[in-house]
Chain A
């Protein structure tokens, strides 16, 4: 994606006190292109946070339990990609041993996703409200808001917002608010990697169990929630679960931010309700500018849907499951019909292989072999049984690492084989097609140098631990 992100048509500042219209925009309400909503604007649009019920410890616990109940009634699911029930996670952290910590995850390492940094840049106070509420819910004394180190505008907005709040402290609600920037590589936003990094280690996943909710940062129960999820919490606390459920589907209520990119008039971050059709989203973005070959839903760990299905696709868990896809972190990537899906898939596969932090043999070897096979297939042709070879490699790669990175890449690759099987068969027979030479459409940050430096820094290249893994990488690997 090039150029600045944009949001939906500006909504005038709403003087909402209590009642809020059940329509969109919700998260993006009042947002404008001149910068972040100040604290005053934010309160003007959304109203005050509901009063804290009592400040004493016991009353505080009632309040916390009531809040979690409300979130459970709302059916809020996480917006970081896993769609895990938020209330369940909060309950688990609240009942953990030790004082909890809240981590607001705005790392957003997915190249095609801009929603988190946009939300942080434009509506930081909504996220901060949600984080503070989450801290109350799980009885945490500390909140750490994480933004990508390259998202300067978001970092700046957050700094301002935190300063504004420091000037106007609220009685009874002051967990310590910290802002941390995190590296931008793909896996840095993974829950255990983020906790690892915040604890002073490298931004690489750790072996679980124990999961962060039981033992995370400084061995304390840690609630790691996507920044968008926390923004929804801030709205649910104000307007209630029934209000939240007025949009969306029964199993996936509420609204969501999606990043739409590809051949549309106005690519950018949009707020939809769950279950909205892909067609309506494309309409809101001004329609397509060329023909569309397919859509990648969920980002680079997601799945391809080929053009013949796109008309009927609705953006919610249950609708997309039929296509083997999820909304993931709200990423919708359209591929024009001038691109070669085989070449694009091969490039993404190679990029994903490069994003492995190389801790686990099956991931670093498997993704490398898969990328190599796809590259060969895309550009040089391959034997007829190459599909079987890819499937075999996929089964050796998925679910054998410490995190979901290899699983995501495998998901993407296998879905491409299915969605574009004609193209793949053609390439196997004849090698590169004339569309292969076109410039790549899918955004793969040309951050090779900075990525490498980032990963060198985080994986401690040169240490005997990392070194040993790399030994094996070169020795192993049949394609």
Chain B
């Protein structure tokens, strides 16, 4: 049993402490916006925030998340209002299939918290998520748009 705080709500999850946070979020807490893509921290589809920092939840044991504030894509909007990254994503029509986009958005939201006006080089260095649809051109435009918002 582990006590997790996800999107401000506390849940008791009954899993082996080595279970990846991703699967506790998806299968115990029931939030499926965070995706399984590779299981080995290569693709970033599972990105969530832990105490505000982007982590790849597929290789983060549940035990690591105990006592931390976890935010998933479902918790990014506040008071029913989209986060500026989500807004920029809608305005720039970034998603294609959309499967990787929750992870992409979470990675970008963490970047903007650290660097509110990222350069292209900052983006290249910190956004390493895989998108097989190839939305990168719109991702870059939307990051700059969100930074200006």
A binds B: no
Where the two chains meet, the residues of B that have a C-beta atom closer than 8 Å to any C-beta of A are none
Where the two chains meet, the residues of A that have a C-beta atom closer than 8 Å to any C-beta of B are none
